Chain A
Amino acid sequence: MTTISTPGIGTDLRGRRLPKWAPWAIAAGAAVLSYLAIYLGGLLDGGWVLTAVVAVLLYLVLLAAVATGVEGSRAARNRVATSLIYSAFVLALLPLLSVVYTLVSKGVSRIDADFFTHSMNGITAFDANGGAYHAMIGTLEQVGLAALISVPLGVAAAVYIVEYGRGKLATAIRFFVDVMTGIPSIIAGLFVLAFYVFGMYKFFNHGQGGYSGFAASLALVVLMLPTVTRSCEEMLRLVPDALREGSYALGIAKWKTVMRVVLPTALPGIVTGVMLAVARAAGETAPVLLVSGGFNSINFNPFSGNQSSLAIYIWDQAGAASQYAPARAWSAALTLVAFVLTLTIVAKLLARRSKLK
C-alpha cells in the first residue's frame, strides 16, 4: 500500500507494524471489558446499548494507544480514522434497518384483500376492517395528473435551458430551478391553498372555495417541476454535439433536430428522472394534506370534492383513536413504500441501461 518493500536490500524499509490479529484482539478485549464493567457491573446503569457504545469507545482508545506505541502516531491516527469511518457506517445502517424491519413486520398484518378493495366508508373506531382503496385511487390520480402537467413543462424548460437559453434569462432560470428544488413541500401546499383552493377554484364552483384532488396535483407540480427539469437538463447535456451537427448538416431545422434527434437520444434518462420525481411526489404528505381535504369514501373525480391519498391515510390513521388504526397505518405505509421503491428501483435500473453516461 503506502510503504515500499525493496527486495535485495538487507534492511527492511518498512516500519514496525501491528500483526493482523492485533485489532481483533483489541476489539475482543474492549468488548469483554465493557461487558464486565457495564452490563454485569451495572456501571452507569448500563444496558446492552451502552455496553456496545462503551465497547466501541474503548476499542478506539486502546487501538490508538497500542498503535502509537508500536507503529507511531501517524499510523495510529490512520487506524483510528479508519475505524471511525467504518463505525459511522454501521451506526447509520442500524436505524435504517430498524425502519425497514418495523415497517415490514407491522405492515403485513393488514395486507389482505379487504385492505385493497374497500374504503373507510362507515368504518367506526370499533371496526377492525376497512381499507385504503380510496386512498390508493387518490394517490394514483393526483400523481398521474401532476406528472401530466409537470413532465411536458419540465422537459420544455430543460430544452430551453440547454438548446436555446442564452444570457441573463437563461442564467436566472437555471439558478431558480435549482433553488426551487429546495422549497419545502408545505410551502407548495400553502401556495396552492391560496392560489387555487380559495382562489381560482371559486370560478368553477359558484364562488365557493373547495378542496380537491386536482389541487393536490398542482401542489405536486410545484414540487416535481424543478426535479424533472434538472434531471432532463442533465440528460440533454449528455447528448453528443455530433448528433446535432449531423442533423443540421442535413438541413434539418433546429426544433425538428431537438424533437427527432436530441430528445429520443436522451429519452431513457428523461424517463428515469420522471420516475424518480413521481416516486418522490407519491410520498409527499404535507402539501396534499392541506389542499385535498382527505376523505373516507371513494371519490374517482379529482376535480371536485375531497379526495384522500395514501400519505393522508397514514396521517389520519396514525392519529385516530382506535386500536385498529395503527395496523391500518402501517399497512398503508408498507403499500406506499412498496410503490415508491418499485418506481425508484425500476428507474435506477433503466438509468444503468441508458447509453448516455
Chain B
Amino acid sequence: MNPPSLPGSTQSAEPPEREQSPWGPERRLPESTPAADAATTRAQEARVPVDLGRRKSLNGEKLFRWLTTGSGAAVLVIIVAIAVFLIAKAIPAIQGDKVNFLTEKTWQVPDRVFGVAALAFGTVYTAVIALIIAVPVALGIALCLSHYAHRTVATTLGFVIDLLAAVPSIVFGLWGREYLIDPVRDLSAWLHKYFGWIPIFGSDGPYGKSILLGSLVLAIMILPIITALSREVFQQTPKMNEEAALALGATKWEMIRTAVLPYGRPGLIAATILGLGRALGETIALAMTLGGTFVISWDVVEVGGNTIAANIANHFGEADDFGRGALIASGLVLFAITLVVNVTARVIIYRRREFRSAL
C-alpha cells in the first residue's frame, strides 16, 4: 500500500519517519502525533502523494492539470457570465420602464409600461399547484417501485419512468393543447358547479387554456423526475432498519412510516425542490397550455395564467431590441428565483453525502 517514494520528488506529502523506518504502519502507531495523523490523512486523500513529473520544465502533467482546471473553472465562468450578460442587457430596459418593473402587472413594451409582478406570481403559482398534484402521486409510485411491486415489474416500470423523463416538453405541450384541453374544460365546468364556493373554482367561464390545464401538464411532466429521484432515495434505506421495524411487529405501512420515510426525508425534500426548480423554468409546455393573461388571479379554471418563461417564448418573435431587453430583464428575475431554489436543494443534499449520487 505504501506509495513509492522517488528520488525526484521535491515535496513529499508523507510523514518523514516513513523514510527512516520502512516497516509498515503498525510500528509507527504508538508514536503518532496529531500532526503526523493529519499528514497521513492528507496523504490518503491525495491519490498520488508523489508528483511524478516535477523535474521537467514543460511537461504533459502541467499542461493536463492546467487543461482540466480550466475546464472546471469554465463552469464557474459560465454561471457568472450568465448573470453578467443578463444584468447588462436588463439594465437599459428597466431604466426605460416608466413604472416599477417589479410591481407592474401589464406587459406593454411599446408604451414602456411593463412589469414582472403578474408573471412572477403566475410562475410560482402554477409550479406550486403542479407540485401539490405531482408530489403525493410521485411518492406513491416511488414507494410502489421500491417496496411493493415485484422486482421484475419494478425494474421494467422504473425503466419506463426514466424514459418518460426523457420525452421533450414540447410533446407534453402539444398533447396538453390538442388532447387534454377538452377533458379539462369539462372538469372545470364540473368543479365550478359543485365546488364554485371555493374561490379558486369561482369563475363561470370561459374554460380551456387555464392554470388548471397548465398545472396538470406540468405535474405530469415533473412526475417522472420526482419519482425517479425519490425511488433512488427509498432504495437506499438500510435493510437493517426495515427488518428491525418488521421484527418489532410493524405492519408494512408502519415499517415504511417509521424506517423508510424518516430516513429518506431530506432526499424527498431535495427531490421536491428540484422538481420545483424544473417546474419554475418550464417554458414551452406552459406557453402552449396557458392563456397568457397579465392579471394576478387565484382562479385556476378560467382561461388565463402566464409565467415568465412562457411569456418570453410567446413574445420573443415580435420583440424589437428594447423588447428583448425587457424579456431578458424578466428572465433575470426567473434566474434569481431558480438559483435560490436550486441552491436550497443542493445545500440539503450536501448535508447527506449518500444522497448525492442519486440526485
Contact residues of A between 255 and 309, Cβ < 8 Å to B: 255-259, 276, 279-280, 282-286, 289-290
Residues of A within 8 A of B204 (CB): none
CB–CB A85/B89 < 8 A: no
Question: How many residues on A have C-beta within 8 angstroms of the other chain's C-beta atoms?
Answer: 110
The reply to whether the CB of B39 lies closer than 8 angstroms to some CB of chain A is no
The reply to whether the CB of A74 lies closer than 8 angstroms to some CB of chain B is yes
CB–CB B283/A333 < 8 A: no
Stretch at the interface among A25-33, A58-66, A111-119, A185-193: A185-193
> CB < 8 Å: which of B65, B162, B253 contacts A81?
B253
A306 to B50, CA, bound (A): 53
Stretch at the interface among B19-27, B71-79, B207-215, B291-299: B71-79
Stretch at the interface among B28-36, B101-109, B334-342: B334-342
Tell whether A99 pairs with B251 under 8 Å between CB atoms, given A89-B144, A179-B339, A184-B309.
no
Tell whether A180 pairs with B78 under 8 Å between CB atoms, given A88-B137, A170-B72, A255-B65.
yes
> CB < 8 Å: which of B68, B159, B328 contacts A157?
B68
Residues of A within 8 A of B335 (CB): 183-184, 187
CB–CB B61/A253 < 8 A: yes
Minimum Cβ distance to chain B for residue A57 (Å): 15
CB–CB A253/B277 < 8 A: no
Minimum Cβ distance to chain B for residue A43 (Å): 11
A276 to B61, CA, bound (A): 31
Minimum Cβ distance to chain A for residue B255 (Å): 8
Residues of B within 8 A of A172 (CB): 76
CB–CB A82/B148 < 8 A: yes
Minimum Cβ distance to chain B for residue A22 (Å): 17
The reply to whether the CB of B262 lies closer than 8 angstroms to some CB of chain A is no
A78 to B18, CA, bound (A): 61
A222 to B81, CA, bound (A): 11
Minimum Cβ distance to chain B for residue A345 (Å): 7
CB–CB B174/A248 < 8 A: no
> CB < 8 Å: which of B159, B177, B220 contacts A99?
B220
The reply to whether the CB of B301 lies closer than 8 angstroms to some CB of chain A is no
A256 to B81, CA, bound (A): 33
Tell whether A315 pairs with B170 under 8 Å between CB atoms, given A159-B68, A255-B64.
yes
A256 to B86, CA, bound (A): 41
Residues of B within 8 A of A283 (CB): 166-171
Residues of B within 8 A of A81 (CB): 252-253, 256
A13 to B201, CA, bound (A): 53
CB–CB B312/A315 < 8 A: no
CB–CB A190/B86 < 8 A: yes
Digitize B161-192: 1 where CB-to-A-CB distance is under 8 Å, 0 elsewhere: 01110111111111101111001001000100
CB–CB A99/B167 < 8 A: yes
A343 to B313, CA, bound (A): 27
CB–CB B174/A85 < 8 A: no
> CB < 8 Å: which of B71, B223, B250 contacts A2?
B250
Minimum Cβ distance to chain B for residue A23 (Å): 15
Tell whether A333 pairs with B174 under 8 Å between CB atoms, given A194-B85, A289-B316, A340-B168.
yes
Residues of A within 8 A of B269 (CB): none
Residues of B within 8 A of A7 (CB): none
Residues of B within 8 A of A280 (CB): 166
Residues of A within 8 A of B169 (CB): 283, 285
Minimum Cβ distance to chain B for residue A14 (Å): 12
The reply to whether the CB of A8 lies closer than 8 angstroms to some CB of chain B is no
Digitize B79-93: 1 where CB-to-A-CB distance is under 8 Å, 0 elsewhere: 101100110110000
Minimum Cβ distance to chain A for residue B177 (Å): 7
B71, B278, B281: most-surrounded residue (chain A CB, <10 A): B71
- 11 A-B residue pairings within 8 Å (CB atoms): A74-B254, A78-B254, A82-B252, A99-B220, A157-B68, A194-B89, A254-B52, A256-B60, A276-B166, A336-B170, A348-B162
**Interface, chain B (partner A; CB < 8 A):** 3-4, 6, 45-48, 50-53, 59-61, 63-65, 67-76, 78-79, 81-82, 85-86, 88-89, 136-141, 143-144, 148-149, 159, 162-164, 166-175, 177-180, 183, 186, 190, 193-194, 220, 223-224, 227, 246, 249-254, 256, 274, 277-278, 280-284, 288, 309, 312-313, 316, 321, 324, 327-328, 331, 334-335, 338-339, 341-343, 345-346, 349-350, 357
The 7 closest A-B pairs by CB, nearest first: A184-B281, A88-B140, A283-B168, A156-B71, A255-B64, A182-B342, A286-B283
**Interface, chain A (partner B; CB < 8 A):** 1-3, 44-45, 47, 49-50, 74-75, 77-78, 81-82, 84-89, 91-92, 95-96, 98-99, 102-103, 106, 152-154, 156-157, 159-161, 163-166, 169-170, 172-173, 175-188, 190-191, 193-195, 198-199, 222, 225-226, 229, 234, 241, 244-245, 248-249, 251-259, 276, 279-280, 282-286, 289-290, 311, 314-315, 318, 326, 329-330, 333, 336-337, 340-341, 344-345, 348
Kindly list 10 other residue pairs between chains A and B, CB separation below 8 angstroms, not including A156-B72, A283-B166.
A74-B251, A78-B253, A103-B171, A184-B281, A186-B312, A187-B86, A252-B52, A256-B60, A330-B174, A348-B159
